[in-house]
Structure 1
Amino acid sequence: MSEQTMSRRARLRVETTREIKEIALRLMAEGGPDAITLRAIAREMGMTAGAIYSYFATRDDLITTLITDVYTALVDDAEAARDRVPESDPGGRVLAWGQAVRTWALANPEGFRLIYGDPVPGYQPPPGGAASEAEHRACAGLTGLVAAAWPRASALQGGDYAWSDFDPALVGQVQAEFPGLPPAAVALALRVWGRMHGLIALEIYGHLSPLAHDPEALYAAEMRDLIRSLGL
């Protein structure tokens, strides 16, 4: 009986934690990042402030958990879409990654805004952790897409770059995972990221829909142009 009781308690805790995170994202969607407070969530759930602190000790703990969950879900989807395309089709893998990011963002606009848009005032992220791990996976995935196009794409990459132009942690990761890839390829990977996310951000924030009746077609055209620019 005691084991069964603990199991029920564990299930209740998981469900309550899930509800806290869902309400936090909804509050952000309705009132912006400032609206995410543990007290506001407690009121929504009919909980006391003390009770909710047993789930998340601080608001920053909650934000960190949200970012970790959101970023990991996004990268999982992008990697899965990419890996369904054979490595012999690098252009198809670029397209699959970009389309997966857009599909995920449209299904999770609050999550997209949390990790790529509105900063949460006063939030102090912890060093390292799962959120950083997911971010590193995203960076490695994008760099891998460029690496597959290199050196064909090198002729289209303007500008001279040195490793000192980039964050040391990023440099260490790229050099470890893609030995021999030059710093110009990192610059290109960042540009690829910008092109993938630009139209998505306009769409998520409502700037695109008043101007274009088919944002999906615009995005597909942008991805095809991106693939051509990589020499694929």
Structure 2
Amino acid sequence: MASAAGGIRDRFRAQMLQEIKDVALRQLAEGGPAALSVNAIAKELGVSGPALYRYYAGRDALLTELIVDAYTDLAAELEAAGPGLREMAAAYRAWATAQPHRYRLLFAAPLPGYDAHDEHLVKAAQAVMDVVLGVLTTGPAPSRPLAGQLTEWGRRRGHEELDPGAAARAVLLWSRMHGLVSLEIEGNFASMGLDADELFEAEVATFGQAE
């Protein structure tokens, strides 16, 4: 009987956690990180504010879980896209443009005072970069200072044999795709009368020439 009760409690907790995150994501979509309010979530779910703190210690704890979830989902999308550079880049762009509020959550400082370099977030972000490194296994050797920095970065992340050339290509690809996607989701290309699809194709083709 106790086991059955425990199972019911676990299912209820899992359901509540998901409902909390669903409401939080709607808040993010409507007003960005500043709109995230634990009390507003509690009100929408019909529970007291203190009751919600049984699930999350506070707004920052909820924000951290939303960011980790987003990194996990993005990594899964990239991994499922296939082994090619173009497929991976297309999956990155598709994920970002489909849910820009979650994309912004990953690459903009969410709130003043929030620790965007928390170890949980760094680990989740590394899962995305690991997929990219799995595709870009080689690359031109970078400068000695940059090669040393990339080697140290890889060592800290568990990549003892990381090729600095591949790492440099991965970081540059991410930088370029981030720039392109960020401009697209903020409407900059549309305001210029430019076709984002054509720009994407041109960017992937240009980067692919370095292979």
Shorter-chain TM-score range: 0.7 to 0.9
Matching residue of 1:210 = 191
Q: How does 1:160-179 map to 2 (within 5 A)?
A: 161-166=145-150, 168-173=152-157, 175-178=159-162
More displaced 10-residue stretch of structure 1: 6-15 or 52-61: 6-15
Report the 3-state secondary structure (helix = DSSP H, G, I; strand = E; otherwise coil) of the residue aligned with 1:147. coil
CA distance 1:146–1:161, change in 2 (3 Å): farther
The answer on 1:193 being equivalent to 2:174 is yes
Offset from partner CA, 1:82-125 (integer Å, 9 cap, x none) = 3xx4xxxxxxx111110011111122211101002352222135
CA distance in 2, matches of 1:34, 1:167: 37
CA distance in 2, matches of 1:135, 1:120: 18
More displaced 10-residue stretch of structure 1: 192-201 or 24-33: 24-33
Q: With the length of structure 2 as denominator, give the TM-score of the two structures.
A: 0.85
The answer on 1:103 being equivalent to 2:94 is yes
**Structure 1: segments with no counterpart, 5+ residues:** 86-92
Residue 146 of structure 1 contacts residue 189 of structure 1 at CA under 8 Å; is this kept in 2?
Answer: yes
More displaced 10-residue stretch of structure 1: 62-71 or 119-128: 119-128
Matching residue of 2:200 = 219
CA distance in 2, matches of 1:42, 1:12: 16
More displaced 10-residue stretch of structure 1: 189-198 or 93-102: 189-198
Q: How does 1:25-174 map to 2 (within 5 A)?
A: 25-82=25-82, 85=83, 93-124=84-115, 127-129=118-120, 131-148=121-138, 150=139, 154=140, 161-166=145-150, 168-173=152-157
Q: AA paired with 1:112?
A: Y
Report the 3-state secondary structure (helix = DSSP H, G, I; strand = E; otherwise coil) of the residue aligned with 1:111. helix
Q: Which is bigger in relative contact order (C-alpha 8 A, separation at least 6)? A: 1
Residue 81 of structure 1 contacts residue 96 of structure 1 at CA under 8 Å; is this kept in 2?
Answer: yes
Q: AA paired with 1:61?
A: A
- Over aligned residue pairs, what C-alpha RMSD do you find? 2.6
**Structure 2: segments with no counterpart, 5+ residues:** none
CA distance in 2, matches of 1:167, 1:47: 50
CA distance in 2, matches of 1:158, 1:50: 53
Q: With the length of structure 1 as denominator, give the TM-score of the two structures.
A: 0.78
CA distance 1:158–1:164, change in 2 (3 Å): closer
Residue 67 of structure 1 contacts residue 114 of structure 1 at CA under 8 Å; is this kept in 2?
Answer: yes
What's the offset of the Cα at 1:127?
4.3
CA distance in 1, matches of 2:148, 2:64: 29
What's the offset of the Cα at 1:63?
1.1
Residue 38 of structure 1 contacts residue 52 of structure 1 at CA under 8 Å; is this kept in 2?
Answer: yes
More displaced 10-residue stretch of structure 1: 107-116 or 187-196: 187-196
Residue 33 of structure 1 contacts residue 118 of structure 1 at CA under 8 Å; is this kept in 2?
Answer: no
CA distance 1:159–1:44, change in 2 (3 Å): same
How many residues are matched? 211
CA distance in 2, matches of 1:201, 1:142: 19
Residue 28 of structure 1 contacts residue 36 of structure 1 at CA under 8 Å; is this kept in 2?
Answer: yes
- The percent identity for this pair of structures is 34
